[in-house]
Amino acid sequence: MQIWGRRNSVNVQKVLWCLDELSLTYERIDAGMHHGRNDTPDYLALNPNGRIPLLVDGDFSLWESNSILRYLALAKHGEAIYPAAARVRASVDRWLDWSLSTLQPAEHPVFWGLVRTPPEKRDMALLQEKTNAVARLWRLIDAHLDGRAFLEGETFTLADITIGSYARRWFGVEGVDKPSFPQIERWYRTLAERPGFVAHVAPPLT
């Protein structure tokens, strides 16, 4: 099994974290940004979007990170992190969908502005405004976590992998004012102890 993508991509990180949670063996191949490779004809034949990550599992290829998470859990005996019960699975799925429809679009300009933009080119007033918008989303999660060990109760699931990977960015960006979220901080400390998080999500933001 191969995962194509660079280590500092949040979408690659959550797939690698999932692979570790499932104790799966894989090969990661650098691709994207300065690594290139994702614009070659061979890559585009497998993923016409030219994005990362890309999963290749034998003769099967799959793109879109959250689809990869679901596939790994379904195909590789991952029911513990993607429960089969319809209501629980639907509740997990909503977080995966929400991360792409709502959280990532709001988080993206803050991360790029504070991590991948030189200081002299940053519009700090705009970045604070964007950070405030992201904070409103994290406030929703903080309220949801009240009384829960994880996003969906007492069980660690794909929802925690997905949202937890973005939480690393929330806690990691500096130079803007961010409110304190006690429930998220408690939950995040638990996630930060998991080996897959330590290996793939915890390294410095770049």
pLDDT in tens, 183-203: 999 999 999 999 999 999 999
Q: How far apart are CA 14 and CA 162, in angstroms?
A: 6
Residues of the chain with pLDDT > 90, as a percent, come to: 96
Sheet of strand 2-4, all strands in order from the earlier edge strand to the far edge: 27-29, 2-4, 54-57, 60-63
Helical packing angle, 65-75 and 158-172, nearest 10° = 140
Phi-psi category of residue 77: left, alpha or beta, with phi > 0 → left and psi -120 to 50 → alpha: left
pLDDT of 24 > 80? The answer is yes
What the block records as the tokens of 54 is: 């890309």
Strand partners, 2: 27, 56
pLDDT of 32 > 80? The answer is no
Q: How confident is the model at residue 35 (pLDDT cuts 50, 70, 90)?
A: confident
List helix spans (H) across the chain. Answer: 10-21, 41-46, 65-75, 86-98, 104-115, 124-145, 158-172, 182-191, 195-200
Identify the CATH number of the domain defined by range 2-75: 3.40.30.10
pLDDT in tens, 147-172: 999 999 899 999 999 999 999 999 99
Mean per-residue pLDDT, 48-60: 97
Strand partners, 104: none
pLDDT in tens, 105-129: 999 999 999 999 999 999 999 999 9
Domains of the chain by residue range: 2-75, 86-195
- What's the whole-model pTM score? 0.96
Q: How far apart are CA 185 and CA 123, in angstroms?
A: 28
HSE (side-chain half, CA atoms, 13 Å) at 85:
7
Which of 134, 164, 130 has the alpha carbon at shortest distance from 149? 164
* DSSP three-state, residue 200: helix
Question: What is 86-195's CATH number, 1.10.3720.10, 1.20.1050.10, 1.10.287.110, 2.40.50.220?
Answer: 1.20.1050.10
Mean per-residue pLDDT, 48-59: 97
Q: How does the average pLDDT of the chain come out, rounded?
A: 97
pLDDT of 87 > 90? The answer is yes
